[in-house]
A and B are shown apart, each in its own frame.
Chain A
């Protein structure tokens, strides 16, 4: 083990309670030979991220999570959530929440836009914790391997909407529905409340496309606001009950399933909004 490996383990030991370290020892990983999976995920990096996101999860955003017990413990699953915020902190909180609330612990393979792997340092760091590029062949293979995918079916329009339209979902893309039908994977709808207000945007530079980024956001505050996150998981929608795998190529079937998922996510968001007493409570 090199210096980086020693530092990683030391930081993890320092920041993560012993019980949680023991629980995460049961992480499922398709080891490709040297401790990494084929897409670059490494258990030490997952544990380090679990340790370093604790402060954000427990103290800063004080995540209130409900319904995670409904996530199937094995087999291919797709989590479909709403997406908002200056930076993908909602994805980070969802990743941490699922890791905490699944037994044995499951790592959400968050599907990122294709520009994310291009980002120096960020792309590598994300891949070590299980983030994958948003292309069809990769996610197909992950579902074949029985992994848990995390997608934001709104895509970039979800995070690019004005604050006056917060918590109003953009039309869901249908890729996740096609995948679910093709692989017989249940879709777990997820509503995230708090992400829309976490980091107000002052402006954006639309002409900034370095590394393929859609734009460069300018934050109104130097740090994200300590809003309270609410993550609500819905009942899994099992496409096998109504669709055969061959219907994955039927645009009508995929659209119908995507609409159903969108309605479920919207209902979970509305539930979270009703339960909240204020931005910070």
Chain B
């Protein structure tokens, strides 16, 4: 591994992954890409940051056949997707799905790229009482047209990458991560627990699987350093009932009928602008869905090790992020 291209690099996950790669001290070059104009993380001579709009096909092409080639990037970690749960429309789809397809197609004919790691989500799995509570990689996918665009986009992007496995000259790995309990990661559980009062379906207390940023980035690092191809579930070290998660976050749980929760959260979102979307969670807040990570353990050597910090989101202090330089020499085109 000589160089890694990381998309979505300014998210909490992206920053942590970049810092992890820089900490390897094996001379790996990191080309970090995101929409933000400035890089908010640590500075390092091996890090090159490039602000870029991945929805623009020309920008992606110039990224790969410009800076990525010049830096001899051989691994791509594609984790970019729209951060807002509620966002929808063509532009969101362009980032979530079209950019993934574009990256993959261009990487396949790239002179230096050999491996493509797609960082997806376990959100794509269907959770139901009649389905196994332990979710393997061949578990049914959530294909319901009623699901919000976020889920449908994630399913489409995941399958877009999966369909090239075995056909592509690249070595491809798809990671389906358990929910990352952190801000800026689209974590529905984090948004859910940001309210002092949490409504949950009466009579049901499903098991959830939550992963820490440390484990999510460690699994990704293992995947990009490996040659193993295929789909890998990446579970977290926190498998616990919904009620316990609420208790750990020091929130008040109010069990009510499931049919009432949707309207309540819709009203709350309109009044307070919260990101929590009941339609995304109505199944997994009733039926258990825990990732089976046997394949990731066997082929990547990954086992969850780091617990989530169950601090109530509202109690967290936001540390100021350092502002560092943008490597203008690598700029492909100005961000829009």
Contact = CB atoms under 8 A, between A and B. Distances in A.
Interface of A: 2, 32-34, 36, 38-40, 114-115, 117-121, 123-124, 127, 132-133, 135-138, 141, 212
B132 A38 contact: no
B71 interface: no
Contact of A33 (B139, B204, B237): B237
B134 interface: yes
Interface string B177-211: 00000000000000000000000001111110000
Interface string B105-123: 0000000000000000000
Contacts of B131: 135
A138 B202 CA distance: 25
B239 interface: yes
B290 A39 contact: yes
B288 interface: yes
Tell me what chain B mostly uses at the interface: helix, strand, loop, or mixed. loop
B163 interface: no
Given A2-B247, A135-B132, A136-B132, A36 B240 contact: yes
B335 interface: no
B281 to A, nearest CB: 17
B240 A33 contact: yes
Contact of A135 (B130, B204, B307): B130
A123 B134 CA distance: 16
Contacts of A212: 129-130
9 contacts: A2-B247, A36-B240, A38-B290, A117-B287, A123-B129, A124-B205, A133-B132, A138-B132, A138-B133
A41 B290 CA distance: 13
Given A39-B133, A39-B207, A34 B292 contact: no
B207 A118 contact: no
A118 B307 CA distance: 30
Interface string B219-257: 000000000000000000111110010010000000000
Contacts of B292: 137, 141
Given A33-B240, A136-B132, A120 B203 contact: yes
Contact of A133 (B133, B139, B202, B290): B133
Contacts of A40: 133, 205-207, 241, 288
Interface string B289-303: 010101000000000
A138 B203 CA distance: 22
B262 interface: no
Contact of A124 (B136, B203, B304, B307): B203
A156 to B, nearest CB: 15
B288 A118 contact: no
Contacts of B203: 119-121, 123-124
A140 to B, nearest CB: 9
A120 to B, nearest CB: 3
Given A2-B247, A33-B240, A132 B133 contact: yes
B288 A127 contact: yes
B288 A39 contact: yes
A108 to B, nearest CB: 17
B133 A34 contact: no
A28 B139 CA distance: 28
Given A2-B247, A33-B307, A38 B134 contact: yes
B207 A38 contact: yes
Given A36-B244, A133-B130, 15 more contacts: A33-B240, A33-B304, A34-B240, A38-B207, A39-B134, A39-B207, A39-B290, A40-B133, A120-B202, A120-B204, A121-B203, A124-B203, A133-B129, A133-B133, A137-B134
B248 to A, nearest CB: 8
